[in-house]
Amino acid sequence: MFGEGLKAPSSAVVSHLASSTRIDEVEPEDNEFKKLLNCNHGVQFHRGCIESWLKDHSTCPLCRSHVQRPVHQRLNAYMFKLRDNIVLYCNIALENVASSINGDCQDC
């Protein structure tokens, strides 16, 4: 319906995303270190370094285990894509309406 057929995520999808392997804080939010929870080595990474790494990679820089972004980041990315598809769909619909009002209908 909206561009590439995106629809709102089901509660099962949201639950799966929330339970998937994730990055988590070792200390409160203002700390400068993070660790990757699914890695057995337990290394803490400097926050800026690991966030920079994870912008281009979906793996731990040491053991290459797959790491998923936190659920809120994945849902935000999904919602932005959904919004873009809705805007595209609405623009196409408005262009079609404007064309038919102006008598530019190709079917007439």
* Residue 25, amino acid: E
Is the full-model pTM beyond 0.85?
A: no
Q: How far apart are the first and last CA of the chain?
A: 26
- Provide the pLDDT for residue 58: 80
pLDDT band for position 5 (50/70/90)? low
pLDDT band for position 101 (50/70/90)? confident
Confidence check: pLDDT of 57 > 60: yes
Angle, helices 11-19 vs 71-101, to 10°: value is 140
- Provide the pLDDT for residue 82: 93
Q: What is the DSSP letter of 59?
A: B
pLDDT band for position 4 (50/70/90)? low
Which residues, in sequence order, are bridge partners of residue 75? none
CA distance 87 to 20: 30
| Nearest Cα to Cα of residue 23 among 104, 91, 57 | 57
Confidence check: pLDDT of 44 > 50: yes
The mean pLDDT value for 22-43 works out to 59
CA 55, distance to chain mean position in Å, is 12
